[in-house]
Chain A
Amino acid sequence: MQTVLKFLVALPAAVAGTALFALMLVTFTDVMLRSIFNAPIQAGADLTRLLMAVIVFSVLPLLSFRGGHISVDLLDGVFAKLKIIRVLNIIVSLACGAMLFWPAQRIWVLAERSRSYGDVMEYLNAPVHVLIWFISALTLLTALALTARGLILAIRPGLLDSDP
Chain B
Amino acid sequence: MIEGLVGFGVVLVLVLLRLPIAFAMGLVGMLGFMLETNFRAAISMVARLIIDTSQNYTLSVVPLFILMGLFVNKAGISRELYAASNAFLGHLRGGLAMATILACGGFAAISGSSLATAATMSKVAMPEMRRYRYSDKLATASIAAGGTLGILLPPSVILVIYGLLTETSVGKLFAAGILPGLLGILLYLAAVRFAVWRDPAAGPAGLKLPWSDRFKALSQVWAVLLLFFLVIGGLYGVFDFHPLNIAFSPTEAAGMGAMGAFLIALSRGRLTFADTKEVLTETAMTTASLFAVLIGAWVFSNFVNIAGLPQGLLGLVTTYDLSPFMVMAAILVIYIILGCVFESLSMLLLTVPVFFPLVTQLGFDAIWFGIIVVVVVEISLITPPVGLNVFVLKGVVGDVSTGTIFKGVTPFWIVDIIRLLILLAVPGLVLFLPCHL
Contact = CB atoms under 8 A, between A and B. Distances in A.
B64 A56 contact: no
A79 B22 CA distance: 21
Nearest to A134: B54
Contact of A107 (B20, B50, B290, B386): B50
A131 to B, nearest CB: 7
Contacts of A96: 19-20, 23
A123 interface: no
Given A23-B60, A52-B60, A99-B23, A59 B285 contact: yes
A115 to B, nearest CB: 13
B259 A25 contact: yes
A7 interface: no
Contacts, number: 178
Given A27-B252, A31-B256, A110-B48, A95 B55 contact: no
Contacts of B346: 70, 72
Interface residues of A, number: 58
Interface in B60-74: 60, 63-64, 67
Interface in A20-58: 20-21, 23-28, 30-31, 34-35, 45, 48-53, 55-58
A135 B60 contact: no
B18 A23 contact: no
A23 B262 CA distance: 13
A63 interface: yes
Contact of B60 (A35, A48, A102): A48
Nearest to B53: A56
Given A53-B55, A63-B289, A110-B51, A74 B386 contact: yes
Interface of A: 13, 16-21, 23-28, 30-31, 34-35, 45, 48-53, 55-60, 62-63, 68-76, 79, 88-89, 92, 95-96, 99, 102-103, 106-107, 109-110, 131-132, 135, 139
User: Nearest 10 CB-CB pairs, A to B?
Assistant: A27-B255, A69-B20, A17-B280, A16-B284, A106-B47, A49-B55, A28-B259, A53-B54, A35-B246, A71-B20
19 contacts: A13-B281, A16-B280, A16-B284, A18-B280, A27-B60, A27-B64, A27-B251, A27-B254, A30-B252, A53-B55, A56-B288, A69-B21, A70-B20, A70-B293, A71-B19, A92-B20, A99-B27, A109-B47, A139-B50
